[in-house]
Structure formats: structure tokens, C-alpha cells
Amino acid sequence: MPLATPNYSRIQRFRLPRLCVPVIGSDPQNLLDRAESLVRDNPFLEFRLDYLAQPAAALPKVKHFLELHPEAMVIATCRRAVNNGKFRGSAQSQLDILLKAAAIGCQLVDVEIQSARDFKRDQYADLRNRVGVILSFHDFKATKKLDDIFAGMSDLPADFYKVVTTATHLYDNVTMMKFLQAHSGHYEMVGLCMGEQGIISRVLGVRAGSVFTFASAAPGEETAPGQVNISELRDTYRIEMVEASTQVYGVAGDPVAHSLSPVMMNAAFRRETVNAVYLGLHAKSLKDLLACANDIPIRGMSITMPYKEEIVEALSNSDPLTRQIGACNTVVRSQDGKLYGFNTDVAGIVGPLEQRMTTAGKRVLVVGAGGAARAAVFGLKSRNAEVFVANRTPETAQALARQAKAKYVKRADLAKLNFDVIINATPLGMNGNRQAPLEEKELNANYVFDLVYSPAETKLLKMAKAKGLHVIPGLEMFVQQGARQFEIWTGKPAPVAEMAYVVTKALDRLGNGALPETHHEEESPAPHPPAKPAKKAPATKAKRVLVKSGSKKSARR
Ligand code: NAP
């Protein structure tokens, strides 16, 4: 079908905020109450009339709302159930409601392409004469054939063309962005991918030419899969400042939905006024991730499970520790486009220990033999510590001990042995898991460092505290490894105190935040609580983040 002559919206894009919040309600009063509570902060609202049993009954109240709020920009939407909305009436009844919405002052209506085709041409033209029309297309399964879809839409004139698809791969976001870039010079486009893997298109879509995007009013009020809530888009991702020159970073893994890295790293970029955004990159395969990283292009990535080992082969080069450990958690794209790898987990483990002691010569037990354990073992060996490894699967621990010239230790022998530090590098104790990797009688050490950071106080740390031992929460590793990443990417000292603060707050919100009191001995600078930072502390000096002051118990043995 031939493309129509480009037609520009009669509603100038500069009049539209970047974020539109869909409003739903159980009845007209509830819908309007919700709108009333949102409009001050978010004047651009979409009234989902189709969520009401009788959409037309809400219109007098919507009229009153518009009279009270001349600043509001309102889209009326009454999507039919056959087109994945909730309105059970015919296309003609839908048209009737949208005309009434226009008559009471709604500036825009959303018409799905299927309904627009059901309307008679002169009916559609009449609607367009009365109100701005967003002609929309939704695909709830995939992102494909976007140009064909658009060719089938753009023969109908519209103020905005909205194409919303579903991301099943990370690369679908790139497809959407290329589509937006190709058409946004000629048409007023709105585009995004739904689904958890499409979240990056909600942030980067506006960078690629989408006039605006959608955000849910609050967690739990999503009207589409993967919709991010408005405070997250504003406060975490700073969507209002994302533009073509904004650098893109992200945490790549499968899954990444619960990662606190976006909260921490975006806060660091904001604090240091770096024009960058940090996203969750939920990749189902490394191939998908690398294709996406190349085409966006992404300047740097934090790599998490399950790609830490697999990505090493795909890098142009990496630092010696990364090669020894065989795992990379930090990727940086150089000027020539090549990807280089680092392992900042080592700094995340060694750093908190060296803030408390000289690690050289210390006896350190590492429990676990996976990626984090390897970082601990090789990192501490490089600092001349005497390292011991124990693991559920003895063969893996034996192999690691051999490679790193550490010592393998049998679980059965642990109760008889003493260490300066015990490090938990297993997932035991994480989130819902209330187990500890060791029993109380096996905790014979000055310090217990649990790499698990959510919850802040694990069962292992509680046991250690009860025994009077010094404890180091995994949050310190999380912040330190992130701080080092920030420094590699930006060349600036990381705002460590700010990073610790936002992660602590995020864990608090998750109900996981109670930090254990930590103890400290030799070479400890004065401890401070994880209070709101007054000013940034450079990474090199910002020691002992998250450390609460003084326990009365002495843990020295
Ligand atoms: P990984 O490569 O999967 O290794 C997991 C290790 O834990 C393996 O040695 C495994 O033993 C052992 N393990 C797993 N389930 C166990 C169980 N039920 N009982 C006993 N041992 C068990 O994982 P990873 O990347 O090393 O990460 C380990 C943990 O470190 C993560 O869960 C996370 O909490 C923490 N971590 C924290 C940070 C941070 O920034 N704070 C960063 C990275 C990791 P087998 O060999 O027998 O399977």
C-alpha cells in the first residue's frame, strides 16, 4: 500500500510531555479520583474508558475534570476487547464514545487500526476534524514486520502513529528503535516494546524519536506488560534528560528484573552529572546481547549470571585477573568499538577486607567454587593471603584450589580449623532462602563476609554476630564492585556513599534492608552509618561504606 504524504500532527510535539500515564478505575468516580491524584505531577494522562463497565457514564466527570485542570492533556481510549482492550461494544459504539470524549474537551483519542478500518472513511475524517487522533497498532506476541505494519497504517491520516509490539529478544528493542529512527523525521511516532525484555525501549524509544512513552501510575497499576512506573522512569532512569547523545550502559543477564544495579549506577551517573543511562538488559542468549550491545551501541555493561564466563571468549581483550578467573563482570567499549573485559568482583571482595586488615598472610576460607568464589580465591591469592576452599561439590573446589595454588579443605574438617576470615560465596541465605552455608561450630574466624547482599542480614551473619564475630555484609561487595565499574567507564571517582545509600534504601523498600552491625579492628578508619551522604566520597577514600558503628562485643580470639 502506498505511503501517504507525511502529515504532521496538529498537536505540536513540543506541547506534549514525554510521559503519559494511563489511568484506570473501577468506576467513574474512582477513575477521576485517581486522575486527580496524578495530574499535578503528570499532566499527560490517558483515560482508559474501556476499563469501565459503562465508559460513556464517565464522560460528564471527565468534562468537569478538564474544566478544573486546563493544564491537563488527555487521551481518551476505549479499545475494543477484540483488539486486546476491554470494551465489549461495536466499533460504531466505540466511535460514538470517542466523539463524545472529543466534544467534552479531550485533546486526543487513541484509535486502534482495526477500528479505524471499521469506521467509514467520512466518519474517521469527521473524528479527525474534531480531535487529535493517535492511530495505534499492538502486537502482544512479537516484534516483526514493522515497516509492513506501518505501510498499512500510514495510508490513514493521523496526528500520531503508535506502534506497540512485544519484545521476545533484547534485539527487538533495536528493531523498534531503528523503525522509530526511520520514520520519526516524517511522521509523529510513538513506539515501544512491551514485556520485560522490552523495558529498554521505554527509555531509549524517546531517544530514537518516539514523541512520548507510557508509564504506569504506580507499581501494580500497569496497563501493559513491562510498563515501568513513572517514578522509576523519572527518578531512576531520568527519562526527561535522555537524548541522542546520552550514553547507554546496562546490566546484562538472565534474569535481571530484580537487580539493584540500575538504582545504584543511575544514582552514580546523576550524582556525577554524567550524561548516561543504565538499563536492565534481559538477554536470553549471549548472541542476542552482543547484537543489541553493538547496534545501540552500549558503552559499558555489568555482566551477571549466566554470561560471566561465556562472554570472556567474545571479548577483544581482558585484564590478567579476568583471564585467570575465567569470568568477566565488566565490559567497556573502546573508541574503536572493541569490547574489553574486567573483573571488578575482585575489588568488591578484596576492597572491604583491606579496609579492615592487611590481607597478606591472613588465613581465608572461601565457601563455594563458582564465579564469586573464583574472584575471591584468585583476588586474595594475588594479595598473598593463605586461601582455603570448601564446596558442596568437592571436585570443583579441588580444581579451583589447584589452579589458584590455594588449599582444598573438606567440610568435615572445618569445625577443627581456625581462620581470620570466612567468605560465603554460595547463594545460601539469599532472598527467600533462610539457610546458612555453615553451622555455628564451623564459624571459627575473626570475620565472616557474606557475599549475599539481599537480605542485608543473612542467617549466616546473624549466627556470626551471635557468636561475637565481626561481620561484613555483601552490600559492601556490591557497592565496591559497582564503584570500580563506574571508574572504569567514566574515569571519575565513584560517589560510593551515594551508591551505598540508594542500595540500602532500595533494600529497605524490599523489606531486606536491616543492616547488620559490623565490627572492625586493625586499620579501620572511623566507621560511619549508611546515612544520606552529605557529599560524595571519592572511591579511593570512601572506605567502610555501610558500616555501622561500634558493637560492644569483642570478636578477637
Ligand atoms: P555460582 O557460580 O552459581 O556458584 C555457586 C556456588 O555455590 C557453587 O560453588 C555451588 O556449589 C554453591 N552452591 C549452590 N547452591 C548450594 C547449596 N544449596 N548448598 C551448598 N552450596 C551451594 O554463583 P556465583 O556467581 O559464584 O555467586 C554466588 C553468590 O555470591 C550469589 O548467589 C550471590 O549471592 C553472591 N554474589 C554477590 C555479589 C555482590 O556484589 N555482593 C556478586 C556476585 C555474587 P556446587 O559447585 O556444588 O554447585
- Secondary structure (H, E, C), 67-117: HHCCCCEEEEECCEHHHCCCECCCHHHHHHHHHHHHHCCCCEEEEEHHHHH
Q: What value does the mean pLDDT take over residues 277-294?
A: 96
Residue with cell 466505540: 94
d(CA 287, CA 126): 49
Q: For residue range 420-460, what is the model confidence (pLDDT) as tens digits? A: 999 999 999 998 888 999 999 999 999 999 999 999 999 99
Query: How remote is the CA of residue 291 from the centroid of ligand 1, in Å?
Result: 28
Helix (H, G, I), strand (E, B) or coil at 140: coil
Interval 404-418: pLDDT, tens: 999 999 999 999 999
Residue 518, amino acid: T
Active site residue 308: yes
15 pLDDT more than 90: no
| Prediction pTM value | 0.87
From CA 414, how far away is CA 7, in angstroms rounded? 75
Ligand 1 atom showing the smallest separation from residue 305 Cα:
25
pLDDT at 406: 98
Predicted confidence (pLDDT) per residue in 16-53, tens digit: 899 999 999 999 999 999 999 999 999 999 999 999 99
Q: How far, in Å, CA of 441 to CA of 34, rounded?
A: 56
Atom of ligand 1 nearest to the CA of 426: 7
Q: Is the dihedral of CA 216, 221, 225, 228 positive or negative?
A: positive
Q: In this predicted model, what pLDDT tens digit does every residue of 211-240 receive, in sequence order?
A: 999 999 988 888 888 899 999 999 999 999
Q: Is the pLDDT of residue 529 over 50?
A: no
Ligand 1 centre and the CA of 231: distance in Å?
33
Q: Which atom of ligand 1 is nearest to the CA of 430?
A: 34
Say yes or no to pLDDT of 534 above 50: no
Extract the C-alpha cell encoding 359: 590481607
Return the best residue to mutate from 259, 392, 434 for the ligand 1 pocket (most ligand atoms within 8 A of CB): 392
**What is the distance between the alpha carbons of residues 421 and 200, in angstroms, rounded to a whole number?**
41
**pLDDT score, position 226:** 87
Catalytic residue among 100, 162, 308, 465: 308
Tell me the percentage of the chain whose pLDDT exceeds 90.
84
Q: Which residue has its alpha carbon closest to ligand 1 atom 18? A: 428
Q: Which of the residue ranges 52-66, 235-249, 295-309, 504-518 would you say has the lowest mean pLDDT?
A: 504-518
pLDDT at 521: 44
Contact 447, 420 (CB under 8 A): yes
Closest ligand 1 atom number to CA of residue 371:
26
Higher pLDDT, residue 6 or 335: 335
Q: Can you give the pLDDT at residue 526?
A: 31
Which residue's alpha carbon is at the smallest distance from atom 17 of ligand 1? 428
**Distance between CA atoms of 394 and 25, rounded to whole angstroms?**
57
Q: What pLDDT sits at residue 257? A: 87
Number of Cβ within a 10 Å radius of residue 63: 16
- Cα(355)–Cα(265) distance, integer angstroms: 22
| Lowest-confidence region among 158-172, 310-324, 540-554 | 540-554
pLDDT for the residue numbered 395: 98
Question: Which atom of ligand 1 lies nearest, measured to the CA of 308?
Answer: 25
The residue ranking higher by pLDDT, 122 or 537, is: 122
Which of 104-108, 338-342, 429-433 comes out lowest in average pLDDT?
Answer: 429-433
Strands 339-342 and 330-333: antiparallel
Pocket of ligand 1 (CB under 6 A): 305, 345, 348, 368-373, 391-393, 396, 425-428, 430, 437, 451-453, 474, 477-478, 481
Distance of CA 46 to the CA centre of its chain: 25
The protein residue whose alpha carbon is closest to atom 13 in ligand 1 is 426
Between the CA of 321 and the centroid of ligand 1 the distance, in Å, is: 19
Amino acid 514: pLDDT: 57
Tell me how far the alpha carbon of residue 348 lies from the centroid of ligand 1, in angstroms.
15
CA 31, CA 412: separation in Å to the nearest integer? Answer: 63
Query: Average pLDDT, stretch 541-548?
Result: 32
Q: How high does pLDDT run on average in the chain?
A: 90
Dihedral sign for Cα 271, 475, 556, 417, please: negative
323, pLDDT greater than 80: yes
Name the closest-CA residue to atom 22, ligand 1: 426
Per-residue pLDDT tens for 64-99? 999 999 999 999 999 999 999 999 999 999 999 999
pLDDT digits (tens, 9 = 90+) for 153-187: 999 999 999 999 999 999 999 999 999 999 999 99
Report the pLDDT value the prediction gives residue 544, as an integer from 0 to 100: 34
| E strand or H helix at 390 | strand 386-390
CA of 403 to the centre of ligand 1 (A): 19
User: What is the Rg, in whole angstroms, of the alpha carbon atoms belonging to the chain?
Assistant: 27
Over 50: is that where the pLDDT of 142 sits? Answer: yes
Instruction: Tell me which residue has its CA closest to atom 39 in ligand 1.
Output: 478
Q: Whose CA is nearest to atom 27 of ligand 1?
A: 372
Contact 166, 193 (CB under 8 A): yes
Q: Is 36 helix (H, G, I), strand (E, B) or coil?
A: helix
Residue 520 has pLDDT above 60, yes or no: no
User: How far is residue 420's CA from residue 359's CA, in Å, rounded to a whole number?
Assistant: 9
Ligand 1 mean position to 426 CA, how many Å?
3
> Please, are residues 380 and 359 in contact by the beta-carbon 8 Å criterion?
yes
What is the CA(323)–ligand 1 centre distance, in A?
Answer: 20
What is the number of the ligand 1 atom nearest to the C-alpha of 475? 41
Report which protein residue has its CA nearest ligand 1's atom 21.
Answer: 392
What integer pLDDT is reported at residue 130 of this predicted model?
96
